[in-house]
Structure 1
Amino acid sequence: MASWRCRDLRRFASSVSEVPQRSPEDRQPVTRRKEEEIPRATWTLSVLYGKWKLKVLVEMRDRPVRISELQRNVAGATKKMLIDTLHALEADGIVERKEFEAAVRHVEYGIMPSLREPTC
């Protein structure tokens, strides 16, 4: 049985090497689709999809928060996951980042003011 697997692996490896590689000039840049191109509900679900996004937004519903505060309040989330989640929400225009240059530099994240007020 092991020789059968090795034979198939060799066949697969040879078929992969025959696939033509595209040059970097041929590749299209990956961009997010704009809200106008897809239905609003689909866009909203795609933005909020993720294990930590809704939990992070719930923590920010009343006021801006720091990463350390989120780490204390969102159980099970690592600092890296929270930072990645916040950067994704910031890229989608849901969260804004404010840097404070004081004696001790710190960063706060909050929900965009335009999104705080309901539109309907």
Structure 2
Amino acid sequence: MEILFDDKKVKVLFDNFAIMSSTKGHELTKHVKIRYEQLRAAETFYDYYKTGLGRPHRLEHDKNNLYAIRLTGNIRLLVRPVVENEDYSVESLKKCRKVTIIGVEDYHGKKKKSRTYIP
């Protein structure tokens, strides 16, 4: 699958995992790299989704049309499948050959205040 990036800062970190490791930490980088390689290896987003790796799930409310992929604990890789007409049906995801990486964050908690790790 082709990987796009929502932000130049995100692209810089994903283009060079050594930079990500030195600025964001080795453990987080290790988990991010694993999920990144798994996404790249999948032919479509649906193929990745059905593997269950990282328990991908669609988000709602202010993160509508994003999917979260578990990295560690509450930390998630956020991606947006590139689909036509914002159609996130199974049939559309089966055709989806591109995703945009939005970043990495922890959006859990009672106050719904998220902590952004990347960008």
After TM superposition, the score normalised by the length of structure 1 is: 0.30
The structure with more helix, counted as a fraction of residues: 1
Higher relative contact order (CA 8 A, sep 6+): 2
Q: Pick the structure with greater CA Rg.
A: 1
After TM superposition, the score normalised by the length of structure 2 is: 0.30
